[in-house]
Amino acid sequence: MAFQPVFTDGRTFADSLGKIVCVGRNYAAHARELNNEVPTAPLLFIKPASSATPMRERIRVPRHLGEVHFETEVALLVGRRLCRARPEEVLEAIAGVGLALDLTLRDVQSRLKDKGHPWERAKGFDGACPISEFVPFDSEQMALDDLRFTLTIDGERRQTGHTAMMLFNAVDLMVEISRSFTLEPGDVVLTGTPEGVGALPEGARLLLSLEGHFEITARS
């Protein structure tokens, strides 16, 4: 059973964690580093709730299946139901902002893509989505298009992101998502990763920062 979302002030969210809707290639430089086309519309896929795990726990992945890559992303916790939403409804529906790792079995994903198959085996395995605590969201105090975040592994900065660089901003993403999938309280939206993804070393110390809000450590 997936864990309960937790806020940085210690409160737990009233609803259990639901589906995790992910946005692929939402930073142009990341799309290019993997030799992918830069999309003209959001590329969406879903991780099940069973893939989520608290980021503060040890990150455990099926390494016998090949390289596991890290992808650091801003995560948005949904607090109200959104279906064919308008932009003004989105800001009212976001309960919290956090960070997540979209872990990917890269070798498995490459084989699936070569065959034209879905990515779920590479993206939705148990433990594939470590998630931090969430900062309670207030649109007057936090600008979704001006969030800066970083990932450092064993003292080396590996990823630096700024949501202003996203191809599709957070509000537009959630409007678009709600046209295909109704978003329910407890769902989480991962907004895409910047360049710098790579293999996650075993036994590494990770430091993730959402600038001005929190830092969190994890171990692989």
Between CA 152 and CA 175 the distance in angstroms is: 32
Q: Across residues 19-37, what is the average pLDDT?
A: 82
pLDDT, tens digit, 9 for 90 and up, residues 176-192: 999 999 999 999 999 99
Question: 111 burial class (0-12, 13-18, 19+ CB within 10 angstroms)?
Answer: middle
Domain residue ranges of the chain, discontinuous segments joined by +: 20-219
User: Around 162, how many Cα atoms within 13 Å sit in the side-chain half-sphere?
Assistant: 3
- Does the pLDDT of residue 12 top 90, yes or no? yes
The two structure tokens encoding residue 33: 């580093």
pLDDT, tens digit, 9 for 90 and up, residues 195-210: 999 999 999 999 999 9
Three-state DSSP at 73 gives strand
Residue 84 is given by DSSP the state S
The CATH fold of domain 20-219: Fumarylacetoacetate hydrolase; domain 2 (3.90.850)
Residue 49 is given by DSSP the state G
Written as one letter, the residue type at 212 is: G
In this predicted structure, what is the pLDDT of residue 103? 97
Mean predicted lDDT score pLDDT of the chain: 94
In this predicted structure, what is the pLDDT of residue 113? 87
Whole-structure pTM value = 0.95
Written as one letter, the residue type at 193 is: T
H or E element in which residue 173 lies: helix 170-180
Total residue count of the chain as it appears in this document: 220
Question: 140 burial class (0-12, 13-18, 19+ CB within 10 angstroms)?
Answer: exposed
Rounded to 5 degrees, what angle do the CA atoms 5, 216, 121 make? 60
CB atoms within 10 A of CB 192: 27
- Does the pLDDT of residue 2 top 70, yes or no? no
Between CA 119 and CA 94 the distance in angstroms is: 27
Q: Across residues 79-95, what is the average pLDDT?
A: 96
Between CA 183 and CA 199 the distance in angstroms is: 31
Q: Please answer whether residues 60 and 153 qualify as being in contact, where contact means their C-beta atoms are separated by less than 8 angstroms.
A: no
- Strands 129-131 vs 52-54: parallel, antiparallel or unpaired: parallel
Q: Which of 17, 165, 27 is nearest to 95 (CA)?
A: 17
